[in-house]
Amino acid sequence: MSEDYRHIVRLSGSDIDGQENLLQGLTRVKGVGLRLSKTILDQLGLDPSQRLGNLTDAEVKKIEKIIKDPVASDFPDWYVNRQRDRMSGRMLHLTGSDLDFAQRNDIDRLRRIKSWRGHRHSLGLKVRGQHTRTTGRGGMAVGVSRKRITKALRE
């Protein structure tokens, strides 16, 4: 290992192990998937199999800049995870706790306006039209009567 190797790399608010290769290491940032990770590495001309701990500070800053605003770095609009944001109307790419906060606010807005999806969220049921007769039963045994089992054990 060289002297400039770092065991833990801080990238967009996430601590990532330096042993990870670049392609998989970038996906450890919440809000960055495999496709965005690969495109960032292609645009910067970095080797995806290189270790994350071998990056220089300048390369880390370039990666963080692209993750923060992919549209400004000539990425298509559909690469961002928040297209035409409700509040600002801009193309945003949120990562980390900002992404969690925005999702929580979206669900709260659906509950507040009493939409069908908001109602399903508040009840803890499936939201996107899935069947609920047999799936999503939250810990119960499927097709087993507990009363019958306890009665058989007592006898």
Domain residues of the chain, as ranges? 8-71, 97-154
* Residues 94, 13 contacting (CB under 8 angstroms): no
Q: Quick one: tokens of 77?
A: 């609009």
- Quickly state the pLDDT bin for 144 (edges 50, 70, 90): low
In sequence order, the β-bridge partners of residue 82 are 92
As a whole number of angstroms, the longest Cα–Cα distance in the chain is: 73
Q: What is the pLDDT of residue 53?
A: 86
| pTM of the entire predicted model | 0.70
What CATH architecture applies to the domain 8-71?
A: Orthogonal Bundle (1.10)
40 close to 108: Cβ distance less than 8 angstroms: no
CATH of domain 97-154: 4.10.910
CA 116 – CA 42 distance, rounded (Å): 42
Q: What is the pLDDT of residues 17-74, one digit of tens each?
A: 888 899 988 899 888 889 889 999 998 898 888 888 888 889 889 999 988 888 888 8
Residue 112 is predicted with a pLDDT of: 94
